[in-house]
Amino acid sequence: MLRFATLFLTWLSLSGPAMAQQADAPIQRLLQTHSDVLLESSRRTIGPAVDALANSGLPEAQVVLDKWQNKEMWVDEETGLFVYAEEIDRDTLRIYDFADGTEIGEVPDDAFDQLKPNSGIRGLIATALVQFQLSDPDPDTRRRALDAIERGAEESHLAALRVSLPNETDDTIRARKDRLERLLTIRYGETDAERITAIQSFGGDLSVDVRAALNPLLAVRVEAADALPDAPDIGRVLQPGSEALPRDEAYELLVGADLAKPRISREDQRNALVANISDGQVAGVQVATLDSQAARDMAYAALAEQGTVTAVATEAEVDDRLASHVFYERYIGAPPEVVAAAQLALQAIENKVHVNQAIDLGLDALSLASIYFLAAIGLAITFGVMGVINMAHGEFIMMGAYTGYVVQLFIPDYTLSIIVAIPLAFAVTFGAGVAMERLVIRWLYHRPLETLLATFGISIALQQLAKNIFGTQARPLTAPDWLDGSLVINDIVSISYIRIAIFVLALLFLALFLFVMNRTRLGLEVRAVTQNPRMAASMGINPDKINMLTFGFGSGIAGIAGVAIGLYAKVTSEMGSDYIVQSFMTVVVGGVGNIWGTLLGATMVGSLQKGIEWLNPSNTLAAQTYMILFIILFIQFRPKGIIALKGRAAEA
């Protein structure tokens, strides 16, 4: 064979320009040794060949595997020598020698056969390649190899990892390799002891991949038996009819294990009965009488007696069979000791996960609370301080958001546009608030129900106006890039920057409110007018002006809140009404006339809603419903809110 090949080579070298192939290079020899299996290309028999290549220690083996995997390995039909090649065009190949990678020349492809490994074989090759990649001098290649293993780990990777681990020079890569090695040991470790050690090494690790590695170990199969077997791999005992094991499923299990007679579905029973109708009767029963389940059961039983259909279990038999068996889970994922260790480890992780979920939930609640606070703070001023119910407050929020949207139409830079939008939104809604106070509210002081109705009218009109101008579809208010993304603390706890920004904004507003009310002349006058307008007027304060400014201030804050909320949610003409009831709830729950109450109210409403959402994550509508119900009940017991004013001040 070899001699023949040499001869052929000689012939080749004569016929081609630079056609010389090292037929006796070690790699070529190795390939020739496994030539038969290579050419057979069968998933069943290829194993030894791949192993031989992988374990040959030859540096060229990687190239071979690589090319083979990419379907670039060809075999010379006559000599049987393997080469790799590029297809230059449909008929021509440029072939290379595996031994040293030199180009042999361009040849017609008639004389060569391409090796076409199927996907199974390619998988084997890829696995074999990993060990080369793991020890590749290029760190990027090593990282890519680790990525690949993380995506789809296989048993053989474990050995490869272990081989490459001692020689790793890069610290971070070594850490990754080490971690991956332990993860794979959990899955594929040979002895229970090493698997348990690996499991224990992950105590309290929150990463998803640890849980992904541990969970399969706890896989169970539900089994049924007359009595509970006394074996170490038995898990929970299940009650048929419980949530974990519905009655039908339990019975199916018995049927599947040949422990009970099959049942028949109502539909099959009906079909069987229909199939056996003759002369208006089924097994001697008049068809017209088969209008109840009991009658049909009897008719079917009669058919079964005749032998026309197979007998099925009656409900009584089903109950009897279920009662006389025990249903239990058997651990099939791992040996019992490993299961125990995994359970312990998972328990520790779960505990930590719960703590972190609670933190995450808390952050969520906090950011929702900030939004409610932002929406409510303007109300706290107009309603709480002035006692004016402004049902159009939600529409002021909407106006602020639309102002932001319009600004972004003119200023494409998102950062700049937000900086412009915030004062502009304040100005627009301040103006709207002042106009509303002058035109409507001031005629209605001390007539709260009428104020409520008149502002409803304004709210309806403004909402429709926004619809007419901006259309019904949602408009985007885009946050600048630096607000994109989230602050990720671990796999569970993360919070988006925009929520942090809203939280900060809420704090700023709180500070602004406190400053204006307690440290400025305006705040002093506002408090004076609130407490005793006549006295304030006699001291030279113009209550009209103060009321106007206060109302404008409250409305302006609503406008800024609108920009913030618009960044977080979509801008629509109805966005105001989404917040108005919650905002009023926030103010009322907190206690009217007290900013700290509003803060507490927002915190309570926000955390309540998030809490309920957490209990029932699929349904935010239900969360809102229950939250409102809770607030209605809360107001029953603290009608004046969390922070209640007492005495004459409360009655003013």
Partner 1 sequence: MTDVSLPRREPFALRFPSVMVFVAILALFTVGVTILSEGFGIGVISTSFVKTLGKTLCLCLVALAMDLVWGYCGILSLGHMAFFGLGGYAIGMWLMYARTEIIVLESLAAAPLPPTPQEVSDGIASQIFGVVGASEFPPIWAFAHSLPLQLLAVVLVPGLLALVFGWLAFRSRVTGVYLSILTQAMTLALSLHLFQNDSGLRGNNGLSGLQNLPGQSDVSQDIVSLWFFWGSALALGLGYLLCAWIVSGKFGSVIRAIRDDEARVRFLGYPVEAFKLAIFTVTAVIAGIAGALYYPQAGIINPAELAPIASIYLAVWVAIGGRGRLYGAVIGAAFVSLVSTWFTGGQAPDINLGFYTISWVDWWTVLLGLSFVCVTLYAPKGIGGLVDILIDRKGPNRHGADLGPDQGALREQEADK
Partner 2 sequence: MSTLLEVSGVSVSFDGFKAINNLSFQIADAELRAVIGPNGAGKTTFMDIITGKTRPDEGRVVYGDRGDSLLKMSESKIAQAGIGRKFQRPTVFEDQSVFDNLMMALKKTRGPLAVLFFKPTKDDNDKVADLAEQIGLSGALHRKSGELSHGQKQWLEIGMLLAQDPRLLLVDEPAAGMTPAEREHTTDILREAAKTRAVVVVEHDMEFVRRLNCKVTVLHEGSVLAEGSLDHVTKNQQVIEVYLGR
648 contact choice in partner 2, partner 1, none (CB below 5 to 8 Å, kind-dependent)? partner 2
Give the CA dihedral 332, 333, 337, 342, nearest 10 degrees: -140
Closest approach of partner 2 to the CB of residue 646, in Å: 5
Rounded Cα distance between 10 and 12, Å, is 5
Closest approach of partner 2 to the CB of residue 651, in Å: 10
- What is the full DSSP assignment across 197-265? HHHHTTTT---HHHHHHHGGGG-EEEEEESS----TTEEEEE-TTSSSS-HHHHHHHHHHTTSS-----
Scan for tokens 């080490």, then name that residue: 178
460 contact choice in partner 1, partner 2, none (CB below 5 to 8 Å, kind-dependent)? partner 1
Backbone angles phi, psi at 70, to 5 degrees: -90, 15
Closest approach of partner 1 to the CB of residue 550, in Å: 18
Backbone angles phi, psi at 87, to 5 degrees: -90, 115
β pairing state of 281-282 and 103-108: unpaired
Q: Which residues on adjacent β-strands are paired with residue 496?
A: 486
Identity of the residue, 272 or 643, whose beta carbon is nearer to partner 2 in the bound complex: 643
Identity of the residue, 175 or 469, whose beta carbon is nearer to partner 1 in the bound complex: 469
β pairing state of 73-76 and 112-114: antiparallel
Number of residues engaging partner 2 in binding (CB under 8 A) = 5
The dihedral through the CA atoms of 44, 48, 51, 52 has a sign that is negative
For the segment 538-577, give every residue that binds partner 1 (CB under 8 A). 577
For the segment 632-651, give every residue that binds partner 2 (CB under 8 A). 645-649
**Site map 613..642 versus partner 1, x via CB under 8 A:** ------x-xx-xx--xx-xxx-xxx-x---
Contacts of 278 (CB under 8 A, 6+ apart): none
Identity of the residue, 269 or 417, whose beta carbon is nearer to partner 1 in the bound complex: 269
Rounded Cα distance between 431 and 351, Å, is 53
Identity of the residue, 285 or 493, whose beta carbon is nearer to partner 1 in the bound complex: 285
94 makes contact with partner 1 (CB under 8 A): no
647 contact choice in partner 2, partner 1, none (CB below 5 to 8 Å, kind-dependent)? partner 2
534 makes contact with partner 2 (CB under 8 A): no
Rounded Cα distance between 275 and 267, Å, is 12
521 makes contact with partner 2 (CB under 8 A): no
Rounded Cα distance between 634 and 559, Å, is 30
Other Cβ atoms within 10 Å of 397 Cβ, number? 34
Identity of the residue, 226 or 267, whose beta carbon is nearer to partner 1 in the bound complex: 267
For the segment 281-310, give every residue that binds partner 1 (CB under 8 A). 287-293, 296
470 makes contact with partner 1 (CB under 8 A): no
For the segment 371-410, give every residue that binds partner 2 (CB under 8 A). none
Rounded Cα distance between 386 and 321, Å, is 73
524 makes contact with partner 2 (CB under 8 A): no
Contacts of 407 (CB under 8 A, 6+ apart): 417, 420, 421, 424
The answer to whether the beta carbons of residues 161 and 134 sit under 8 Å apart is: yes
90 makes contact with partner 2 (CB under 8 A): no
Identity of the residue, 277 or 539, whose beta carbon is nearer to partner 1 in the bound complex: 277
649 contact choice in partner 2, partner 1, none (CB below 5 to 8 Å, kind-dependent)? partner 2
Identity of the residue, 64 or 592, whose beta carbon is nearer to partner 2 in the bound complex: 592
CA 465, 466, 468 angle in degrees (round to 5)? 65
3, 44, 90, 266: which one contacts partner 1 (CB under 8 A)?
266
Rounded Cα distance between 399 and 469, Å, is 12
646 contact choice in partner 1, partner 2, none (CB below 5 to 8 Å, kind-dependent)? partner 2
Contacts of 447 (CB under 8 A, 6+ apart): none
Identity of the residue, 275 or 649, whose beta carbon is nearer to partner 2 in the bound complex: 649
457 makes contact with partner 1 (CB under 8 A): yes
Closest approach of partner 2 to the CB of residue 601, in Å: 20
3 makes contact with partner 2 (CB under 8 A): no
517 makes contact with partner 1 (CB under 8 A): no
Structure tokens at 460: 């309806």
629 contact choice in partner 2, partner 1, none (CB below 5 to 8 Å, kind-dependent)? partner 1
Closest approach of partner 2 to the CB of residue 524, in Å: 20
The answer to whether the beta carbons of residues 320 and 310 sit under 8 Å apart is: no
For the segment 190-219, give every residue that binds partner 2 (CB under 8 A). none
Rounded Cα distance between 356 and 490, Å, is 9
287 contact choice in partner 2, partner 1, none (CB below 5 to 8 Å, kind-dependent)? partner 1
**Site map 352..391 versus partner 1, x via CB under 8 A:** -------------------------------------x--
Helix (H) or strand (E) holding 327: strand 326-331
273 contact choice in partner 2, partner 1, none (CB below 5 to 8 Å, kind-dependent)? partner 1
Strand order in the sheet with 220-225: 220-225, 326-331, 234-238
Residues that bind partner 1 (CB under 8 A): 266, 270, 273-274, 277, 287-293, 296, 389, 440, 443-444, 446-450, 452-454, 456-465, 467-468, 577, 581, 584-585, 588, 619, 621-622, 624-625, 628-629, 631-633, 635-637, 639
Residues that bind partner 2 (CB under 8 A): 645-649
